[in-house]
Amino acid sequence: MAAGATIHHVEVQLSDVDRGVYETLSVHLARHPSESARFLATRLLAYALSYEEGIAFSKGGVSSTDEPPISIRDATGKLLAWIEVGSPAADRLHKAAKASERVAVYTCASLDNLAGERIHRRDEIEIWRLEASLVDALAERLERRSKLEIVRNEGRLYVTTPTGLLEGSITREAL
Asked if the structure places residue 138 within a domain, the reply is yes
Phi/psi of residue 141, each to 5°?
-100, -10
- Tens digit of each residue's pLDDT (9 = 90 or more) over 112-158: 989 889 999 999 999 999 999 999 999 999 999 999 999 999 999 99
- Tens digit of each residue's pLDDT (9 = 90 or more) over 61-107: 666 678 999 999 999 999 999 999 999 999 999 999 999 999 999 99
Asked if the structure places residue 97 within a domain, the reply is yes
Asked if the structure places residue 109 within a domain, the reply is yes
Q: How confident is the model at residue 15 (pLDDT cuts 50, 70, 90)?
A: very high
SS3 99: helix
In this predicted structure, what is the pLDDT of residue 53?
97
Asked if the structure places residue 60 within a domain, the reply is yes
Quote the number of domains for the chain. 1
Residue 71's identity, in one-letter code, is S
Domain ranges, residue 155: 6-173
Res. 2: pLDDT tops 90: no
Asked if the structure places residue 1 within a domain, the reply is no
Q: Check which CATH number belongs to the domain holding 136 and give it.
A: 3.10.640.10
In this predicted structure, what is the pLDDT of residue 61?
63
Res. 40: pLDDT tops 80: yes
Asked if the structure places residue 161 within a domain, the reply is yes
Asked if the structure places residue 24 within a domain, the reply is yes
Asked if the structure places residue 11 within a domain, the reply is yes
In this predicted structure, what is the pLDDT of residue 3?
59
Measured in residues, the chain has a length of 175
